Copies of this chain bind each other. A is one copy, B any other.
């Protein structure tokens, strides 16, 4: 055992495998995204367990089959050791109320003042949903971990307080908590009830390493820990309750293999033929996003409208295609927001012609990939975004040296800012000016910038991204008790 690699224990809300019932059987299917690529790959070679929460009926059936024990599952050529937690009625308050409403809105500065956040009703879902589910995940992680030899990797804002339960059960555990979201300044985080602010920060500080996707978020997190729970700065790390907690960032780059595979698929090729007909020789101004409030879709449309107002010669020569993946349409603000986007698109079509602008709302990944291959300008203007992977995947997939218009409040901007046109996401007029510059850029400048963008997007490929985190985690553990 002495030479065996440390066992990984990963915990995230969504696991690497989902199930679908076909022909009376529950059939496993691997998920996608950088996390599954990075961790799924490593877990093919090293021992480890992935703890996650049962999200739907099929998950719950699988969980019921295995009870409180881990099990192995093959999916799409990989084998995974899984522990799936059915948290019952607590799922709704844990996931929809606290994680995706209270925390998501707070961490992306999405509350509509002066009425939001609603000042009542959070303690129930917090106490009866978020905290117990996190504790259950933490206990399951501890049960799967080997105190001396495991590396525990906790994922994202759903599990902010799970680390406390791991630490309580295994005081010596090596724990890294990665936040895929942004983080906010102390004054904004304080819109949460005080005990939640404190508990979330203490929960994260139970890790040895708190990791983000951008230095913007590490700075904000450090200030929150200092102002709200009295942590002390120690270089870039924090001292908290006699422990040293590293706070670091690890940019996640594109998964080239999986992108290449998607690009080569027959579905993508067919979708590309359809798109070519629609583009019809015009310049393609593209956005590809979930319909999330943080993505700033509406201001992008308004910027396009200003562009066509100010530059009549572009009318008829540009097609703005918004490829929108519907998201959280059960949340009233998301519905209202999508309606406002659709109204803006309708107005633009009425003013400048039916074929000026198309919003596609649906789930069609091959079409998204084909569009990314073909854009002249890609607009990624989120008001806040942990990374914004589209801003990285676009340049790698694109075949036209397309330009990138990018918000500095996306984590992607740290590395992609040099090749992109960086714009203030709140300033519609500045975005219109950047879109004009991008659409009229010389071929030489486009090529030079596209080269910079491709290089930057490849930094932090999923397996490198994970390896860097594990190095940081081992370093943090090795420095325990060593004065800095």
Contact = CB atoms under 8 A, between A and B. Distances in A.
Interface in A434-453: none
Contact of A113 (B109, B120, B340, B429): B109
A301 to B, nearest CB: 11
A421 interface: no
Given A114-B337, A194-B424, A299 B119 contact: yes
Classify chain A: how many residues form its interface, as a range: 35 or more
A193 B340 contact: no
Interface in A97-138: 109-120, 123
Contacts of A383: 113-114
Given A187-B109, A409-B187, A117 B296 contact: no
Contact of A117 (B116, B190, B426): B426
A424 B190 contact: yes
Interface in A177-201: 184-185, 187-188, 190-194
B113 A111 contact: yes
B430 A115 contact: no
A427 interface: yes
A306 interface: yes
A428 B112 contact: no
A92 B134 CA distance: 53
A153 interface: no
27 contacts: A110-B113, A110-B114, A111-B113, A112-B113, A112-B114, A113-B293, A114-B296, A117-B426, A118-B428, A119-B299, A119-B427, A119-B428, A119-B429, A119-B431, A120-B302, A120-B306, A120-B428, A187-B409, A188-B188, A190-B426, A191-B426, A193-B424, A193-B427, A193-B429, A194-B424, A194-B427, A194-B430
The 10 closest A-B pairs by CB, nearest first: A119-B428, A112-B112, A185-B185, A114-B293, A193-B427, A191-B426, A120-B428, A110-B113, A119-B299, A194-B424
